[in-house]
Every structure is written in C-alpha cells, then in structure tokens.
Structure 1
Amino acid sequence: MIQRLPLSAATSYAELMERLRLARFGEFPSGSSFVSKTVKGRLYWYVQMPTGGQQSRRQVYIGPDSEALRERIARHGEHKADVEDRRRLVAAILASGAPKPDRISAEIVQALAEAGAFRIRAVLIGTVAFQTYAAHLGVRLPVTSLATLDLDIAQDFGIASNLDDKLEKPILDILRGLDPRFSPVSYAFDTRRTTSYALNERYRVDVLTTMRGAPRDEPSYLPTLGSDAVPLKFMDFLLRDPVETAVLHGAGVLVNAPAPARYAVHKLMVSRNRKVNPEKGLKDRLQAAQLIEILAQEDPFALREAYAEARERGEAWRELLDEAVSQLPEPARAALEP
C-alpha cells in the first residue's frame, strides 16, 4: 500500500525546486547576458559572461529552448541567494519522511553539480536517483530499496559529443577534491582507459553512456565529463526525456534523473541481465515494483507508454520484460496491462 508524504512536504518540495532552478541562474555574475544558438535545427541557450577576468573565457551552456527556460532567463537576477531558506525547506521535507542520502553520495552529487555536471545534461541514475523520487512523487519509499555503496552518472553519447561546454575539471579531480584517496579503476577490457573511480573498498563512482554501435568492451570518451564511460544497452531508453529532481542535502541539489516510468521499465529489463549478481537483480525488481505501484495511481499513462515503447523495441526486449514481469506481484503485473 502506498504511503504518501504529507501535503506540506509536497508544497515545500515544489517551492524548493523553483528556488533551486532560479538559484542556478543567480550564480552567474552581474552583467551576464544570454545568447541562443541553433544546432541541427534546435535552439539552445548559453550564458555569455561579462568581459574581463577568468569567467570570460567561454560561453556556458544552460539548456535547450523551452518556455520554462525563457521565463527563468527573464527572471535572471530577481532571485537573491536564499541558502538558509532552502536549507529549512530541505529539513522540512526530510522531517516529513523523505529519505536522506548517505553523506558520501550527497557530497559527490553536490560537487558534480557545482562543477556543472547537471547543467550540461548529465543524468544521475541508479539508487541515488531512485531516492529522489520519494519527494518528487510525494510518497514514502522502503528503506530496503535505498541502500547503496556506489553512484552512477550517465550522459547520452550524442549530447557529450556535440555540446559546446564541459565540466570545470575532470571527474577524478572533482572526486579528489572531496577525498584525495579516490583513484581511477582500470577498465576491464582496456587497462589504459578509466570508466570508474573508487574510494578504497568503501565507494565507487561509475560513468555510463549510450551504445552507438560499438561493442561494450570498447569504452567511449565523454569530453563533457572528461572521462571514459561504459556504453550500455538500454541506456538510450533510460536517458530519454529526463526530469529535474532534488537531492535532499544541505540547501538542496538540483539534478537530472530518469523519468520515473522509464526508470521502472529499465529496471525490469536489467534485472534479467543480473544472472551473475542475483542480489542486484532482486533489488532492481523491488525498485521497479515500487515505482509501478506508485505510477499506476499517479501517472498510469506515462507508465504504460514507457512499457509499450520498450516492448516495441524488438523481440529481445519483450522476452526480458516478460521474464521480469512474471516475477512481479500481481498488482504490478496488472498495472502494466493495456
């Protein structure tokens, strides 16, 4: 049975998200201007820093054109720094029953955000992203599905290859700024390449991307993140049309996460690819079942649309989905039926 967060939490979360979006624009120095560029028929917006000083070296990407983005541009400078107010909102949401991220995950996400990772369309995936769905959807999530010792960050290879912007410094440098013991992990199929970063045996950060015809044993370099990345099957499905959510740490951290319906369907598929790690497969199905139950009430159209799209990808996808769905509780199975 779904347990909902109180209405006050939903109100606080909506206010937090609006303040976080405006705060991102408030970080640009006085005198900044906004310019648009058309790339392959689509309009994108950048910030042109005022001339002089280190900040004038390049334009900073802020996102694809949308009505919401144009409104935030129009309100640039209107919203002053309100860190303490945002801290109070985060505390109120946590007090209502939303999950709090572990310290290491939260600090890494905040450091990545401050370096511009989510501004340049990187997407937080995995359990840390799943945690954000509680406040995003206004529900409680069981603690058993929230534990993690790693963090996954991903970016579509096409975006990484064509975006005219990048992190302020490579991921490894960002991580070592938090703890100098972070070290690169050699890629299994090519020891010259690095797609993961580890803090001893305590924690691991993995960088992932979409497949582009290359086999999985050949990593892809993402110039935007300054890191190699593992290309994974199904990743293009997961990363399409992400949503903005907040990691409830400090004054809140604005991140991109997969659309919840896509996350649920993706977890069904990858759960059947975990035969060498059945415990992870079980956790995948648990998270999928929880989201399916929630979305069946909150957004059944998005859930069924994502499920139908995955099934239309081909026989291999349908077989994985059928295997996974057969192991779901009856209410979750019924929610996916047309």
Structure 2
Amino acid sequence: MSPFPLYEQHEQAYCSQFANVEQAASTQDRVLMGAPGTIIEHRRGGAVYYARQYMGPEGRRQEESLGGPQGDPEVDARVEQVRRRIELGKDLIGRIRDLSKLGFQLADNKTYATVGVLYNYGLFEAGAVLVGSHAYAVILNSLGIRAVSYETEDIDIARRHQLALANPPQGGLLAMLKETGINFVPVPALKRGEPSTSYTEAGKSRFHVDLLVPSRDDTFPTVPVAELNAHATGLPYLAYLLGKAQTGTLISRHGAVPVRVPESARFAIHKLLVSRLRTNTLVKSQKDVRQASVLLAMLGEHRTGDIEDACAELPRSARALVRRTLPEVEALMRDAHEAGLAELESGLAG
C-alpha cells in the first residue's frame, strides 16, 4: 500500500492568481495563433501597411498581414483590435510564467494553437469537449493541485450532440486546424477505404488530433460529423463522460484559452473504465488508473459526495469493469487517501 500522497495543494494565493488568469482569458474575443508578437509597418510607395510578426507554434518566425493603407478607418480599427489582443496576451504570458514555476500544468505551443483555433470557431461554446491528458492537466489546475504530469502528443476532441457552429470554414475541421500554421493532414484509416478520424502534422511528428463521439454500443464505429465536414471514432461509454462538463482554461507559454472539459469525478471514473477497455496498452492503462486516483484522492478529501454522484450515474453495464480496477486504485490510495477510496468503494457497491 502506498503511504505517499498522490497530490499536493497549491497555496490559496497561487490559486487566486490562476483564477485571475482564467478571468482575463475569458474576455478574449479571439486567441492569437503563436506568441503575441508585435505589429510592424511595411512601406509600399508612399503608403504604410501593417502586419503582426510573431513566433509560430513550431518555433518559426511568421507574419500575418493586417492590411492597409494607414489611415483607412477599417484597417486602423483592425490594427487597434489586434494591438489590444497582443497586450492582453503578453499580460497573460507574464502571469503564466509565474504559475509554471509553481507547478501548474502547461500545454505545449502546438496544443495551445490547435485548441485556440477551435475556440476561435466557437466549438467549445457549441458543446465540444476537450478530453484525454490535456483535459486532465486543465482539471488539475482548476482544482488547485499539483501532481505528476504526463507528456502527450494527442489532442482528443469529443462532441455528444451536433454542434451549432455559426461560421465553419468550407474545408471543415481540417481547414480550421491548418489555420494554426501547422501542416495537418488526415491520418489514413486502418481499414482501406474508410474515412479518417484523425489528423496529424505532416512528416515524422507524432502530434495529432482525434475526433471522438459516443458509440451506441460496445463497438468503435466511424461516425460522420457533418457540421465539421469530418468523421469521428465512436467510443463506448463516452456519453457518460460527456454527460456533465465544466469550463476550464488551458495555459501555455503562448497564452491561455478557455475550454470545456468533463466534470472532475466523471473524468476520474471514466479513466478507470477506459483502463479496462484497453486490452493491449498496459502503460496507458496504468496511466489512466493513476490519473483517476489523483482526482479521486482530492475529491474524497475536499468535495465529499462528488464521487458517489458520479458512480450513481455510471451505466450498470460499466460497473463491473470499474470494480476490476479497485485493487490497483487501492494500491495507490490506501493509507494516504482513505476518504476517496472509501467513497469510491461505497459508490460502486450501490
């Protein structure tokens, strides 16, 4: 049995600092791709044209044209709007730099740009949910705790119902992703002739985005997502995970972006469930159980009732699978986190 705590709480002052970052991030009408950068001027003949020069998510200097000439009311308004976004972005980065030193979870720059472009198109407001290890990092920060982080090159985006998007691009999800400046391409499906449900950065990079939807049974079908002009992989029990969601904020060295993530207790229970659905990836299964145990430990000690509520809404067909994880969970939580373990056992016994 492990006598060592799975997490540490951040001091209240640091949690307040993070809350201020979240509040400021929520005021953004649009997230800038890459670092905030600066506005520069180009002279063409006797006229002045504007551009934003910045460091892109892949670490290369880039330029975004803002138009011209200087003096055109529409152009000047656009430049001023971008200038305000740059100022807010730089302010956020200064605060995030301090938080990173304190152990708050930071996403890499590619992830920030990718999630940011989805925010710009209103996916999270429309109901899309960030899941997977990046959601885990967002939840840790929201709960005000520090724990072992897991590096990942996967971005998992899920949706339960059709998203009511105001202005999606003609090219759908792939066109959105390309606006990051990252050269995304579809990943060929395992079965010849089936559409792709995943997008990866061209070349040797393993960075990729997966689109997920609930499966109606225990299979993993390929499902069309018409509003994104894309296809998704259906996952068993994903509807349970997406049944309750909460707002959160993903932070990185390039800025902060509001997102939607699963409710914390459901995320933990679903992680245990997924660990039993993985049949050939022991390392990932162990990671799932540990992430779940961290959240269960915190919730049992500081949010009594959340775990039992999440267990009560777990489909009965999934209960046996989650119970199989109890020996592993107990090995991590016994002695150090009795409250969370007891509430989990009680919730699964009902």
TM-score by length of 2: 0.72
Partner of 1:126: 132
Deviations 1:308-330, CA, capped at 9 Å, x for gaps: 221xx22x312101101232123
Comparing both chains, which one has the higher relative contact order based on Cα–Cα distances under 8 Å and sequence gaps of 6 or more?
2
User: Which residue of the partner structure matches residue 12 of structure 2?
Assistant: 7
Query: How many Å separate the matches in 1 of 2:99 and 2:233?
Result: 35
For residue 300 of structure 1, give the secondary structure of its aligned residue in structure 2: coil
CA–CA separation in structure 2 for the residues paired with 1:224 and 1:3: 42
Find the partner of 2:158 among 130, 154, 162. 154
Does the 8 Å contact 2:122/2:165 carry over to 1? Answer: no
Contact kept in structure 2, 1:165 and 1:224, CA below 8 Å: no
Residue 240 (structure 1) aligns with: 243
Deviation, 1:180, is 5.3
Gap change, CA 1:4 and 1:215, over 3 Å in 2 = closer
SS state of the match for residue 121, structure 1? coil
Where in structure 2 are the equivalents of 1:205-284 lying within 5 Å? 205-212=209-216, 215-217=219-221, 219-249=222-252, 250-284=254-288
Name the amino acid aligned to 2:8: Q
Which residue of structure 1 lines up, in the alignment, with residue 174 of structure 2? 172
Partner of 2:188: 186
Distance in 2, matches of 1:134 and 1:113, equals 21
Whether the 8 Å CA contact 2:300–2:343 is kept in 1: the answer is: yes
- Shift of residue 213 of structure 1? 5.9
Give, in whole Å, the separation in 2 of the partners of 1:164 and 1:138: 32
CA distance in 2, matches of 1:165, 1:213: 31
Structural RMSD (CA): 2.6
- Contiguous gaps of at least 5 residues in structure 2: 33-73, 75-83
User: How many equivalent residue pairs?
Assistant: 279
3-state SS of 2:123 partner: coil
Distance in 1 (CA, whole Å) between partners of 2:162 and 2:309 is: 24
Does the 8 Å CA contact 1:170/1:226 hold for their aligned counterparts? yes
Where does structure 1 differ by over 6 angstroms across 4 or more consecutive aligned residues?
Answer: none
Map of 2:322 onto structure 1: 321
Name the aligned partner's letter for residue 335 of structure 1: E
* TM-score (ref. length: structure 1): 0.75
Q: Distance in 2 between matches of 1:183 and 1:113?
A: 20
Which residue does 2:92 correspond to in 1? 86
Q: CA deviation at 1:182?
A: 2.1
CA contact (8 A) 2:123 2:165 kept: no
Do the aligned partners of 1:153 and 1:208 also contact (CA within 8 Å) in 2? yes
CA displacement at 1:25 relative to structure 2:
9.0
Per-residue Cα deviation, 1:91-122 (whole angstroms, up to 9, x for no partner): 23223210211232222112222232212221
Identity %: 24
Q: Is 1:336 aligned with 2:341? A: no
Identify the residue that residue 101 of structure 2 maps to in structure 1. Answer: 95
In the alignment, is residue 109 of structure 1 matched against residue 111 of structure 2?
no
Separation (CA, whole Å) in 1 of partners of 2:118 and 2:137 = 17
CA distance in 2, matches of 1:137, 1:148: 21
Tell which structure's C-alpha radius of gyration is larger: 2
